[in-house]
Amino acid sequence: MAVKIDYYVFISSPWAYLGSERFATLARKYAAQVTIIPMAPLTLFDATGGLPLLKRAQQRQDYRFVELERWRSHLGVKLNLRPKGFPTNETMAGKLVTAARDSAGNDKAITLAHAMMRGLWAEERDIANPDDLKQVITENGLDAGKLFAAIETPELLAEYGRGTQQAIAAGAFGAPFYVIEGEPFWGQDRLDFVERKLAGLT
């Protein structure tokens, strides 16, 4: 029986971007059943004591760049430390990934989420811009018109909100956040432990 993983993300998180492909590779390696769940950052922070980046102490903001540079170099991942589209409002992107999951399945939604992250952090795309998002969706073989229509429905808005509430109930307070058979792992720097967990369950 496949191991189940709940994969909680912020589409705008550089840490989620840095871990996205590595996590997907692990999930395939261990044939895990992954559910991607986009979260609303401000709702999550309000519920768990977090702060948006620009409200954090300057020391924390400065050190973030140190760590991003370290991880970018360590992983050999293309990442612009100061992309033009960040900070951003990721609500539209998160709802679109939710709609893609519901209509096309988790695998395609995970691929789409990574493409949006890469667009923001490596390609100078604006994930709050509908035209940029439509282009990313189309490039990944999905129907942009269908997904944009879906995110206008009350049902999809409610589904997106439930995802964040589910994350809060699961103990999430940041992204990426992985829950494997009830055990939480926070951060792309915990992927070694994620693999140990998966190896022990398969």
Catalytic residues: 13
Question: Do 201 and 189 form a contact (C-beta atoms < 8 A)?
Answer: no
Distance CA 156, CA 137 (A): 17
Amino acid identity of 199?
Answer: A
